[in-house]
Amino acid sequence: MYYLYIPAHYNPAHKYPLVLLLHGGGERSKPGNTLSQNEKLLLNDPYASVWSADYNAPGNPHIQQNWPCFVVIPQMESSQQWVNVDVHQGSYVQPSQPSTPLLLTKELLDALQHMYTGIDSNRLYITGLSNGGLGTWDAIERWPTYFAAAAPIAGAGDPSKAAVLKNLPIWAFHGSMDPTIPVSGSREMIAAIQAAGGHPHYTEFAGQGHGVWPYVYSLNTSPLRVTGFFSWLFSQHK
């Protein structure tokens, strides 16, 4: 299952960026739910709804008004993960094959670019949180030239593969006291990219736990809110 947001007044003669958002483990579809219940489980979460023109909350970044874009939000089943590893261990050895939901997502993005000629293939962005943060790292390590920028939040990757990311614009985020996915997951990826000659951005929220994505996606007016994130993201081109 996936959800697609199409920019208002979409004109196929124009070019629009596309954002792929990978959700966390708590928003996976539940087998006992109706389709509507699973949709609400994911799309009613502020980190998903913030990307729409209808979002209205304090700190609203007005994404569609400032940066009209396609937004793709796939939804995994309850038994699935974006990466088939223990998500709580931090850094991992990348499995030889992508998980089924991640592979299907890549195929979906390829198909959408044929369906909607207004999608700018030079401005495909990927971001995700928690389980989706791992998925973000895994996707860009598998397909390092596919996306124009990546923003993994509270995730982890395979540092031994990080050299392929040295030229990709990346802004990673993590809480220093994360009890769910160790902050070492982000620290080790950033260090490995830097060692390979890359210049990724990294913001670590001192004293914060796992749920740091509201600061990144402007879901509140906290002093920890990351100003400039969306302008940075949408300015990236391949």
pLDDT, tens only, 127-175: 999 999 999 999 999 999 999 999 999 999 999 999 999 999 999 999 9
Q: What's the pLDDT score for residue 186?
A: 98
- Pairing label, strands 16-22, 119-129: parallel
Query: Please, which residues have CB within 8 angstroms of residue 184's CB and are 6 or more apart in sequence?
Result: 90, 91, 156
pTM higher than 0.75 for the full model? yes
Please list the ranges in the chain whose pLDDT falls under 70.
none
Alpha carbons within 13 A on the beta-carbon side of 168? 30
- Residues paired with residue 22 on neighbouring β-strands, in sequence order: 128
| The residue type at 70 | F
Q: What's the pLDDT score for residue 95?
A: 97
Q: What's the pLDDT score for residue 41?
A: 86
C-alpha distances out from residue 45 to 27, 38, 154, Å: 8, 11, 17
CA dihedral 29, 216, 203, 25 (to 10 degrees): -10
CB neighbours (10 Å) of residue 41? Answer: 18
Which residue has 């509201």 as its token pair? 214
CB neighbours (10 Å) of residue 190? Answer: 21
C-alpha distances out from residue 200 to 17, 29, 68, 191, 237, Å: 21, 33, 25, 9, 15
What would the two tokens of residue 45 be? Answer: 């979460």
Q: What's the pLDDT score for residue 202?
A: 98
CA distance 207 to 229: 21
